[in-house]
């Protein structure tokens, strides 16, 4: 018994510091927010139990419903786009022979920059007298109000987020590609499979765990997008980019409705959990 327990106990000791930090700074605050959402907690410290009244209020709040719609649309644009870009660049880097480190570093570089810095730079690029409209003017297609048009603002913001964050997912998928035995690909090539058939029948099934991880973390990141939108649009124009995190921020730190802000946060947590489970089910179904 002592011999069988030695390895699990040793592993637990190694992860114990991070586990303690996770419980203190993630798990406990989440439970606290869930409890606060059932009260009318005020910044003065006074509170009383109100049950699910805050959740019922959400269903009648047009600002929350609008922010929910914006969040879902943004996630629907961002996640497929970043997965496609990350997978495409990972496949290209996996076939590069010379200067692989240089290309990986150059593509990963935007990820290590701050969202605030990226937002300031891309806001200038999107402006009417900015770089992009300057290029469009040369072919008589500009100017375009990328951040002032309610139909274009979310795709414009999603494009910046993809440029900023695809490098991390690219490295995850590249590591997954490197773990695929070359003998499988060589056998498929000998059997006459072309590049698309090798990807569909060999690469994609073996890459599914890494792809699921990328989809989950990118989905969570998209639901939590705040600083980029705050810097570039502030939720405008006409609340066309006003997402749930901005609504939570305004309620909690603008109006000091802490209980209602906690309710928005818990609702967002439930939404992310449901979407992650749907993604898991879809990938499991495609595996069968």
Kindly report, residue by residue over 70-87, the tens digit of the pLDDT: 999 999 999 999 999 999
Contact status, residue 225 vs residue 249, Cβ threshold 8 Å: no
In whole angstroms, how far apart are CA 140 and each of 20, 137, 180? 59, 5, 48
Q: What is the pLDDT of residue 288?
A: 55
Domain residue limits, the chain: 63-287
Residue pLDDT, tens place only, 25-47? 988 998 999 999 999 998 888 88
| Residues 203, 180: Cα–Cα separation, whole Å | 7
How many other CB atoms are there within 10 angstroms of residue 267's CB atom?
A: 18
Q: What is the pLDDT of residue 103?
A: 85
Residues of the chain with pLDDT > 90: what percent?
A: 56
Mean pLDDT of 243-265: 93
Residues of the chain with pLDDT > 70: what percent?
A: 97
Nearest alpha carbon to residue 259 among 10, 9, 37? 37
Q: What is the pLDDT of residue 72?
A: 95
| Residues 96, 104: Cα–Cα separation, whole Å | 10
Q: What is the pLDDT of residue 1?
A: 64
- Residue 287 clears pLDDT 60, i.e. is over it: no
Q: What element of type H or E holds 14? A: helix 2-22
Indicate the class that CATH gives domain 63-287: mainly alpha
Strand partners, 39: 49
Strand partners, 49: 39
Report residue 285's pLDDT band, with 50, 70 and 90 as the boundaries: low
Contact status, residue 234 vs residue 62, Cβ threshold 8 Å: no
3-state secondary structure of 49: strand
Residue pLDDT, tens place only, 97-156? 777 788 888 889 999 888 889 999 999 999 988 889 888 888 888 788 899 999 999 999
Burial of residue 6 (CB within 10 Å: 0-12, 13-18, 19+) is exposed
Report residue 244's pLDDT band, with 50, 70 and 90 as the boundaries: very high
């Amino acid at each position: 018994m002592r011999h069988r327990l030695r390895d699990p106990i040793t592993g637990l000791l190694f992860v114990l510091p991070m586990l303690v930090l996770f419980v203190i700074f993630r798990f406990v605050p989440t439970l606290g927010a869930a409890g606060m959402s059932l009260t009318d907690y005020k910044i003065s410290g006074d509170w009383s139990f109100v049950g699910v009244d805050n959740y019922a209020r959400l269903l009648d709040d047009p600002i929350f419903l609008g922010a929910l719609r914006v969040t879902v649309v943004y996630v629907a644009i961002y996640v497929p786009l970043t997965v496609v870009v990350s997978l495409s660049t990972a496949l290209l880097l996996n076939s590069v022979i010379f200067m692989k480190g240089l290309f990986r570093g150059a593509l990963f570089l935007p990820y290590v920059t701050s969202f605030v810095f990226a937002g300031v730079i891309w806001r200038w690029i999107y402006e009417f007298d900015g770089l992009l409209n300057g290029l469009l003017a040369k072919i008589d297609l500009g100017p375009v109000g990328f951040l002032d048009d309610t139909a274009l603002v979310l795709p414009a913001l999603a494009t910046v987020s993809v440029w900023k964050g695809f490098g991390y997912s690219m490295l995850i998928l590249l590591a997954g590609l490197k773990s695929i035995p070359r003998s499988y690909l060589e056998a498929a090539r000998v059997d006459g499979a072309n590049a698309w058939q090798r990807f569909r029948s060999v690469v994609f099934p073996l890459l599914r765990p890494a792809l699921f991880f990328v989809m989950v973390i990118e989905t969570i990141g998209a639901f939590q997008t705040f600083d980029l939108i705050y810097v570039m649009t502030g939720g405008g124009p006409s609340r066309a980019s006003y997402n749930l995190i901005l609504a939570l921020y305004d309620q909690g730190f603008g109006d000091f409705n802490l209980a209602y802000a906690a309710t928005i946060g818990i609702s967002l947590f439930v939404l992310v959990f449901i979407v992650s489970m749907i993604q898991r089910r879809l990938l499991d179904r495609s595996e069968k």
